[in-house]
Amino acid sequence: MTGSQGSRTRSGQMDQAESEWLYANCPILASTTHITNLAQDMRRTMRKLRRDLNRCKTCPARQQCPILQDYEGQITEAISAVLAEFSD
């Protein structure tokens, strides 16, 4: 689309050519799509982790487990880092 704004449908949505051009050329759309995919992967991973943590409930070493002791701090630190990066 050289010099063209593209045509909009009656509902205000982009036509196919404009949509394809934007996805090919807009760094924000590419980044948000990538972040959305990563977030979906993270949700799946967190669900698996939650299932795995349920197994810890019956573990005799649970109270002294170094992995569980570090887990909460690591997750909190990671979330804080993401939020700080986004707010800059």
First-residue to last-residue Cα distance in the chain:
33
**pLDDT of 10:** 53
Q: What span, in angstroms and rounded, lies between the C-alpha atoms of 44 and 50?
A: 10
pTM, two decimal places: 0.54
Q: What digits encode the pLDDT tens for the residues 5-26?
A: 444 455 567 788 887 887 788 8
**pLDDT of 23:** 76
pLDDT band at 4 (very low <50, low <70, confident <90, very high): very low
Q: What span, in angstroms and rounded, lies between the C-alpha atoms of 45 and 50?
A: 9
> Is 6 within 8 Å of 15 (Cβ atoms)?
yes
Q: What digits encode the pLDDT tens for the residues 31-80?
A: 888 889 998 998 999 899 889 889 888 988 888 888 888 887 888 898 89
**pLDDT of 3:** 42
pLDDT band at 2 (very low <50, low <70, confident <90, very high): very low
Locus of tokens 């982009």:
14
